[in-house]
Amino acid sequence: MNTRALPLYATIVIFLLAYAICWLQFPAILSTRVIANLLTDNAYLGIVAVGMTLVILSGGIDLSVGSVIAFSGVFIAVLLRDSSLHPLVVFAMLLALTTAFGAAMGFLIHRLAMPAFIVTLAGMFLARGAAYMLSIDSVPITHPFYDMIQNAYWLMPGKGRLRLIGVLMLLIVLAGMIIAHKTRFGASVYALGGGEATARLMGVRQGRTTILVYAFSGCMAGLSGIVFSIYTGSGYSLATVGTELTAIAAVVIGGTLLTGGAGYMFGTLIGVLTMGLIQTYIVFDGTLSSWWTKIVIGVLLLVFILLQKGLLKLSQSRLAGGVS
Amino acid sequence: MLLKRIAPQLIALAALILLVTLVYPDFLDISFRDGRLVGPVIDVLKRGAPVALLAVGMTLVIATRGIDLSVGTVMAICGAVAAWAIASGWGLAPALLLALAAGAAAGLWNGLLVAVVGIQPFVATLILMTMGRGIAQLITEGRILTFNHPGFAFFGSGTVLGLPVPAWLWLLTGVGVALLMRRSALGMLIEATGINRRASALAGVNATVLLIAVYMASGLCAALAGIVVTADIRGADANNAGLWLELDAILAVVIGGNSLLGGRFSILAALLGALIIQTIDTGILLAGFPSEYNLVIKAALVLVILVLQSPRIAAEWRIWRESQRASREALAERSRT
């Protein structure tokens, strides 16, 4: 058995167990309606978490994504309000912009040899500030194209509505899995996260990989902003504050090590769904106050990390003992 | 030696003050009214108190190669505890002690997770960061707990010897901790742990206890900051007290030239970093820019300061200067022969 995948298996088992416990209490939680909503409600988080996973695998961190999502929403809303451009053109402009923004941060991190934490923190201020400059108010988006996307869904058996943005998230996770596990770039990212010096000696082009990783994260944040604007039908500069930390938590719950170099893209999807499940459970229960969400997510984070630690120790001691 | 260490921060602060004075000429005006000093600079000293207090603890944590993301929420918890104690009539001293105890307990929790369980500091403190606001809301039951207690409000808006109490608090804490670190071997032990925990443990440093103590110190600093903020608005706001201040505190420490990779640290430089951040914030307000521009200007200024302090830029500048000198010497050599 592949011991490196143990945290991933553990995550999946815990998710299924949690789902089973919820199901015992509320059988309706297994209906396609709830499952479809789980995908729709967490679509933006899932997409941004895919970018975050790659960044964390490379040993870095991207704190700017929450602000970039808010900026994207405001950018789209203001441009659609003040010009007659087609939304698809606006989307293309936005993705180019956020990708360039991510690449610029990656360039600074590599060129100045500064910690990613600080550079992306400055990026977080900058993106949020740019969103404020565009508009402080919440700007509604009214466009026939938006109505069309918002109403695009596939009616699953059981009246569940699988919406376009939910499907998009699943596709992005799939794309992320291919990039991380099947491409040369993905291998470079893992190598970089495993150790910079080793990666350099192996012939990884460090600068290029770093820039690409943050460009990818910026692109995902832009895409997530598009999805979020479709989901809420508006752009608001104060939206998605702290999403970067939720995304990081989802990635960690998904079994990716924050030190970089180890983890699976699929785990991130499970991490996102686990967090969504907690929210859904609290809504179903109805008596729990909203602050319990935060406490439960914190406790869960702790449980997952302790579990990973235990499994890691177990596999290491087995390796040392020569049993495996 | 000390002056050389904090020179970049002093220059940055001076340049910043000059910049602000250019747009707002009255920035350096200080007058004495009703037994207290008044002026924008005093305002910076007072409003910078929470971040400066957090920066003291954060410097120690970062010196051990850690990070404490939970300080903002610990502020909210301690503020809620203090307000709850005051509102239920416990009196001033028990309220303060309870708040400090809450901060120490939060620090102990973080320290145990990092030093004993062995979780990375980022994740370990992220746990309390996510949970903390929930806990604070649990204490205040989701409301903003207000109170009317002049003795407690003194910590937010009182004056001693002309200076606001919050300014005294961070000045005394900063100088006290800095002296404790440098007059005893503590500072050196912390640096040793940050550079190589295993090696320092083998050399006889009790790294585990030291790490826990450092996180507890950070929790205590956060408790002080929480008391200041709560006393200032005379109410505990579990949602907004200390929101994102951990980021400002980390920024202050980094602007203070401390490496996130641990090792050598300077509390004084971190305090200057906190003053730089507060001067930017106050300066932008005074200069009369529309408030939408605040964050963009702040990001740009922070980026400029960081780029100028970047180790690689400094190294390249040194290499460039060396090569200049070498070529000049070669030229002189050639002209001599």
Identify the pLDDT of residue B335. Answer: 79
**ipTM of the shown complex:** 0.84
In chain A, the number of structural domains is 1
Please give the backbone phi and psi of residue B159, each rounded to the nearest 5 degrees, phi first: -135, 135
Of residues B122, B131, B302, nearest to A122 (C-beta): B302
In one-letter notation, the amino acid at residue A306 is: L
The predicted-structure confidence for B238-253, as pLDDT tens digits, reads as follows: 888 888 899 999 999 9
- What is the Cα–Cα distance from B103 to A294, expressed in whole angstroms? 19
pLDDT the model gives residue B98: 95
Q: Residues of B numbered 145-184 whose beta carbons fall under 8 angstroms of chain A's beta carbons: which are they?
A: none
Terminal Cα distance for chain B, rounded: 41
Q: Which residues of A touch B317 (CB under 8 A)?
A: none
Please give the share of chain A, as a percent, with pLDDT higher than 70: 96
> Distance between CA atoms of A195 and A193, rounded to whole angstroms?
5
Distance from the Cα of A289 to chain B's closest Cα (Å) equals 9
Judged by phi (left if over 0) then psi (alpha if -120 to 50, else beta), residue B262 lies in left
Flag whether pLDDT at A321 surpasses 80.
no
Tell me phi and psi for residue B160, to 5 degrees: -130, 125
Structure tokens at B195: 């550079």
Domain ranges of chain B: 2-288
Alpha carbons A247 and A53: distance in angstroms, whole number: 9
Which class is B2-288 in CATH? mainly alpha
Matching residue, tokens 């941004």:
A48
Residue A84 falls inside a structural domain: yes
Instruction: Count other Cβ atoms within 10 Å, centred on residue A173.
Output: 20
Tokens representing B6 are 């904090």
pLDDT-derived band at B59, boundaries 50, 70, 90: very high
For range A98-123, the mean pLDDT: 92
In a domain, A318, yes or no: no
Contacts of B311 in chain A (CB under 8 A): 113
User: What are the residues whose beta carbons fall under 8 Å from the beta carbon of A259, sequence distance 6 or more?
Assistant: A59, A193, B120
**Per-residue pLDDT for A313 more than 80?**
no
Helices marked H in B186-293 — which ranges? 186-195, 197-202, 207-233, 245-255, 267-286
Per-residue pLDDT of B298-333, as tens digits, reads 888 888 888 877 767 777 788 888 888 888 888 888
A294 interface with B at CB cutoff 8 Å? yes
Q: What's the domain range around A123?
A: 3-312
Nearest CB to B296 within list A115, A126, A301: A126
HSE-CB of B243 using CA atoms within 13 angstroms: 9
3-class secondary structure per residue, B25-39 = HHHHCCEEECCEEEC
> Which pLDDT value is given to residue A126?
94
Residue A324: predicted pLDDT = 40
**Would residue A144 count as lying in a domain?**
yes
Q: What does DSSP assign to residue A152?
A: -
Q: Is there a contact between B42 and B157 (Cβ–Cβ < 8 Å)?
A: no
Any residues with CB less than 8 A from the CB of A309 and at least 6 apart, and which? B117, B118, B119
DSSP A77: H
Do A121 and B250 form a contact (C-beta atoms < 8 A)? yes
Listed by number, the residues of chain A in 127-186 with a beta carbon closer than 8 Å to a beta carbon of chain B are 128-130, 132-133, 136
Q: Tell me: the pLDDT tens digits for A70-106?
A: 999 999 999 999 988 899 999 999 999 999 999 999 9
Q: Which of residues 30-59 of B touch A (CB under 8 A)?
A: none
* Residue type present at position B310: S
B129 touches A: beta carbon within 8 Å: yes
The model's pLDDT over A224-249, given as tens digits with 9 standing for 90+, comes to 999 999 999 999 998 888 899 989 98
> What is the predicted pLDDT for the residue at B240?
84
The whole-angstrom distance between B293's CA and the closest CA on chain A is 6
Closest residue in chain B to residue A137, using alpha carbons only: B292
| DSSP, res A159 | S
Interface check A299 vs B, CB under 8 A:
yes
Return left, alpha or beta for A260; rule: phi > 0 is left, psi -120 to 50 is alpha, else beta.
left
| Cα separation, A312 vs A155, whole angstroms | 43
Closest Cα to residue A128, out of B184, B293, B208?
B293
Closest CA to B314 of B65, B10, B8, B3: B8
Q: What are phi and psi of B235, to 5 degrees?
A: -175, 155
A321 within a domain of the structure (yes/no): no
Residues from chain A contacting residue B313 (CB–CB below 8 Å) = 112
Residue A320 inside a domain? The answer is: no
Of A121, A128, A292, the CB nearest to B134: A292
pLDDT higher than threshold 50 for residue A323: no
Determine, for residues B138 and A291 on separate chains, whether the beta-carbon distance falls below 8 Å: yes
Q: What is the pLDDT of residues B24-48, one digit of tens each?
A: 888 888 888 887 888 889 999 999 9
Using an 8 Å Cβ cutoff, are B70 and B106 in contact? yes
Beta-carbon separation of B310 and A293 below 8 A: no
Q: Which of A167-181, A186-200, A276-290 has the lowest mean pLDDT?
A: A276-290
Please state the rounded mean pLDDT for residues A175-204: 92
Comparing A68-72, B49-53, B282-286, B308-312, the range with the smallest average pLDDT is B308-312
A1 pLDDT exceeds 60?
no
SS3 label, residue A235: strand
Contacts of A245 in chain B (CB under 8 A): 126, 129-130
Instruction: Name which of A110, A120, A121 to mutate to probe chain B: the one with the most chain B Cβ atoms within 10 A of its Cβ.
Output: A121
pLDDT at A319: 64
